[in-house]
Structure 1
């Protein structure tokens, strides 16, 4: 996959549009860095498949607008787990 960055860019673009994945989620799925995913979908994909690039851009923009919500939920889960551990350690 490293030999064909343009093909990887198209594959990443399709994955992101089909699943609504974040850059981080796509990076984890394909075992590559977030920087590589970002470069692929923002630069290489624009040259390779402009129509797919526009759809990916829409998904990533939506993810960007929602990230503060995901961050808040993650923090809420974190502290709920800590509270649960504390309660179970007192029993």
Structure 2
């Protein structure tokens, strides 16, 4: 993904808002690391588009609040699969 980092930050932000995506899902979709996605949407996007930055921040806040539930469900599926 060779392009301007500001453009990439805006594209990542739009993807996260439109799909209510997690950082992991956005990283996989765009072929970059989770660290890159986080830096782009948490730091670079602020200087590119403040409105989009606020929208992305709210989506990521929801994801952060729900991550313990997703982790618990993944563990549950893991052990149910081992029983079979």
Structure-1 residue corresponding to 2:72: 72
Q: Deviations over 1:31-72 (max 9, x none)?
A: 100000000001110000000000000000000000000000
Gaps in structure 2 of 5+ consecutive residues: none
1:56 equivalenced with 2:80 (yes/no): no
Gaps in structure 1 of 5+ consecutive residues: 85-91
TM-score, normalising length: structure 2: 0.97
Structure-2 residue corresponding to 1:87: none
RMSD over aligned CA atoms reads 0.7
State how many pairs are aligned: 84
**Distance in structure 1 (CA, Å) of the matches to 2:60 and 2:41:** 10
Runs of 4+ in structure 1 deviating by more than 2 angstroms, as ranges, are none
Structure-1 residue corresponding to 2:36: 36
Deviation (angstroms), 1:14? 0.3
TM-score, normalising length: structure 1: 0.90
